[in-house]
Structure 1
Amino acid sequence: MNLFKRTRYILGLLLTILSCFNTAFAQTSYPVMATMQINPPYSLYLNDYAAPDLQRMQVHLLLKDIAVTNYKCRLRIKIEGFGITLQSKPAFYTVPVVLQGGEMQTLSGTDLAVYLNPQNLLIQGMDTKAFGRQGAKLPEGIYRFSVEVLDYTRNIVVSNQGNAVVSTFLSYPPIINLPMANSKVDAMEPQNLVFQWVPRHTASFNAAFNVAYKFRMVELIPANRDPNDALRTTRPVYETMTAQTILIYGPGEPMLTPGKNYAVQIQAIEADGKDMFINDGFSEAVRFTYGEKCGVPADVIAAVAGKHELKLTWAPGVSQQAFTIRYREAGDHPSQWYEENSYLPQYTITGLKAGKKYEYQVNAQCMWGYGDYSTIQSFNMPDENLEKGDFVCGKVVTEKENTNQKGLEQLKEGDIITAGDFKVSIKRAEGANGSFSGTGKIKVPYLDMVTLPVVFKNISVNTDKKMYAGVIELQRENIEDVTKDMNEALDNYLDNITDIVTKIDTAGLKAIDAAAMLSDLEKMKGWDELDNATLEKLGEIGTKLQELQQLKEDQQLTPEEKQTKAKQVAEQLKKLSEQAKDMLRQALDEVKKLLGLFRRGVKELRQEYTDEKIDSLRKDFDEKYNKAKEFIDKHNSQLGFKISDETDNSVTKVVDVTESALKTLPDVIAAFQSAQQKLDLATIVKILDNSKSEQDEKKVVDMLKIKDQPFSAFISNALKISKEEEILPDVKTSILNWVNEVLEKIH
């Protein structure tokens, strides 16, 4: 039965009962006329009807004979329900009620308290002790309250029976309609969450009670925990009382965690603590999810950026605005975590120790909070000689490492494969089922971690993304075109910035896609051909573009303020872009100058290492090689090493030579190694002279040092006070030193 039908039924029943009472008692005439009035809300507690000042229950008495004064009488109260009767005891003591003829007297509150005291009532149909323990609380139902006046001395009825019928049913608890059960609530910044509920006692006779609401919210741990159990046993995240049917959960309340599950419950409470509601006023528990947890960055990749630097890159997710990188030195007793912040999906960790193993993780920050860290990954930094670590030159891959020969189904752009101890970043790939051809980039440790373009054809890659067959070679074609295209793209980008910022206004600000420009800028900053000064200037441009993006999203500024600030940032951007263009032109001029000196140095060295001299060195090498091989073949069982039979016109190697065996080598082996070193040096000089790649030459120039200073810095300073002919010997010495360093790392 719904609430409307229930109310209609109760009202009809009340009218029927009242009409019967009026008919039955209208025929008898008494000296005193008594009427009873009970005002809503109708309580289940007797003491509510006798509460002072509320006048919920009133008895009106009229002594009809005006000639009578100071008439003493008493009352008899009777309460009747279904199977329950409460009636005044006939002999309990109370002070008399004194009536004056012709005057209406009203009794209420404390006047009636003695008659409603359970100790003065005869109770039938209920457990008297339980009734007292519950605070004189009646069961739910419909009750007829009646009153009669008795002569105080003779104890006879001297009035009619005054009646009132009340309905005392518990009210239903509220229903929560916001948030909806099992829904997902958007996480906002700042925090702003609306809870709303609908009261269900307002249509009953009890609507006049002063009702408040107790709000309680708990976090569900684990996420699938029963909300009713959590609300009964868990310490609340937030709890408060309110008289309203809406609660705004703002930034001043405890912060909720995006992605977490919560449960809320509303309890309707009568102000004096009376039990007026079903289920003690508790609503149903409502479970909801607060926003989405900020995702974990994907594809976290580490690459050596220098002997003491490690560059981390990752794929950002939607809504991820900032990132936290943490790293530590690994081991049985790892060091503490060190944290760094980045607004870009990459970060270079500096100051790492050579030869040490490091662990690292990345997490992301969305508008509504941080997500979880990525899984812990580790990386072994190369040692000082680049003989150990995750990027090592010349390490032989064992058969055990290549046991997995199950072909990878697909290789795509951005994938990282391992070839020996080298990480290859794929730019383009064709093929399937383990056999692929394409291009990529590789970092070479013994060239001080420079990045080189590579090409591969029909290599075999297993499901672990490791190459187990095939060859990856340096790509030497069109490198000059790549550099030319890069310079043109960067120049056009800077021109575009200059063009945009000269026309900026409020409308123009909305049209600028600063986020896309930042994305393009980050791609350009990844070009290895750019010098450090230009990279720093591009970083400043990126900072200003971020300011421009934040300015677009700032809702607290007026359009006029936005326009003023936008013009200020625009002027700064214009200045920075012009500086970057000048620096780029200066860098290109400097590179041309350095390459010119480098080529002159190589040309002069080539004159010293003529083809005739190289032939002579090869004959000397062959002679020393044959003597060493003869010696080794004779003493192989004692020495335990061998010399490679594979020789070519470039560099030959000694492999599998143990340190203990080297100590036993006689002069013949030392002579062979000396001949090999001389031939290798002459061969590399010949290769450098024959090179036509400006890009390869620039990479070598970047490695050169003169008197422990970077080649470019030393030459720039020297050219101011000297002629090229005067510093050319230093250039030649630097080239030879670099060649020897490379040979030492190779051998």
Structure 2
Amino acid sequence: MGKIVQKIIASLLLFTSLLGMSQVYPVQMTPVFHVPYSSRLSDYANSMDVRMRLLVNTTDIGINNRQVRLKMYVQGNGIQAQSSEVVVGMNPIYINGGELLTLTNLELAPLFRLENLEGMSPSQYANALPEGLYTVCFELYDFLTNQKISQKSCAQLYLMLNDPPLLNTPSRNESIAVSDFPNILFTWTPRQINATNVSYQFELKEILDPTIDPQIGFLTSPLLYEEELRSTALLYDVSKPNLLPGKRYAWRVRAMSTSGLSLNNVFKNEGYSEIYHFTYASHCPAPTFILSEAVSARSVRVSWLGDKSHTKYHVQYRKSNVAGAEWFEVYTMNTQTTLSDLEAGVNYEFRVGGSCEPAVLGNTATFTYSGINQFSMPATGTATTSFTCGLNPTIAIANQTPITNLIVSETFTAGDFPVKILELTGNNPYNGKGYIIVPYLADTKIAVAFNNITVNTNYQLIKGVVETTYNPEAPNISDVEDLSGGNNGQIVTQTVPFVITTITTNPNGDIIVGGANGEQITIPGGSNTVITGGNGQIYNVDSQGNATGPFVPAPGVLLLRKILMESLQMDKHLSLLLKGLVCVLNLSVAQNMLGIPLLLPPLVILKRNMLKWVVTICPTRLL
């Protein structure tokens, strides 16, 4: 009998405990916090915008106008805080059965105030909470009986502070050339992850004391210019306060996330970036005529035209169109450098800066930089060395009116390079081909191609990219030295894919080559030009525009001519010494081989000197 009583008592105790665990409270609550979550509790106490809601659902219809009180808990990442039993400043809360009550942070603000929180120090409350996972819970009590009438209802928040913007250009300690019409492009990279409705506050100040650290000088100097904007770039032009030559300026950007009228504290350092400074230099020009030459799938050679006042150069490069890509840098005293350890098949952007300051130990040089240029690395396995670069439009061009009557033989400017138009289709945007002249490569002409570009009425590229490529195996526009030995003129060789029927010149001196089916190609005039048609016939046009021909190559000579011309071309552009000797038997063979009249002795030999092609007597009849 005693055992039966013990079992009954144990069963009753178990049943009672289960009832306690599954107790149904008359009130159900659901807290909802709006993103982005603020990292400061004070934002929920002082904000005029709704940042959170507490839904109170009274399921017991017998409750009528009952006064209740709330208790709040904040836990996580070393924080153990809760609201006090008596909340100062809290308005009375009444609930009714079957009614859904919604309370926002505007009504619950006293719960989030420091004087009503236990377990949190003033320093913890004043600063942003450490990053991590937090739990915010609420309980509801009867105001008169202090009886708990709801279970603990919680919301989990993962608090994370975003990094402030990363400043790009002008870079730290950069030198910017003085201009009557300044166009300085300030750019930065956003780094927020969970921030919404972000705007940027740009600040520019003049550093009045030239001896003070720019970081300190910025904080103590008056504001020169300020602007709030949504984009990540600002063009500083003549409409803004003038910059004085020789003065130092510093700038920074603040990222701000707002919800209505309130500022969200979701950024480190209050959203402020680093402080960059630059010198508005008096007369230190930037490097010009910048080209890149891919020498392998993982390296590229960058060359440029410097100024006689330059003492040092700084090349910066990074992957293009990659958010947060890291800038790499190379310093050099020469007007070219090789960038290595690049990734095959990847696009890069780069710029080159020149410094006019003498090298002094302990001093950090300032640089005047070119605009941003681009190059594309060839895929792995590509064996052909080629010049490649994108000639981009100058960002600071004010004239955005497109020209609608661009024609062949005209010239427009892409970056620093004048582009001579040889072929043209379309009408704004334009497609076509042409060439540029590189002054520091002995005025070498390099072929270019462009697709969907826009040119303004000042003949400046304002949209699109002009791609420059050189392939020694393709019929590019090439200059070779005059083989006659009588002058230092140049010979331009050009191959057209159709049968030539007419060769004329226009008023500009350019050569117009026509075909039987209406084909037409324009070749720049002013030089001795050799033109080969699609059927192998050869024409010569002298520097005055007089055409002769066609010359029909003798049997077996076409291959020899091809070998010689390609050797000349490769030697010209790639600095390769021609191995072996090429002899010609007589004048007619020489003329047919090169396609131009030559004043040479009957037996001659062509060989390569270190600087030019020389003509000597062939010692024996090798052919």
TM-score range, shorter chain: 0.3 to 0.5
The structure with more radius of gyration: 1
TM-score by structure 2 length? 0.38
TM-score by structure 1 length? 0.33
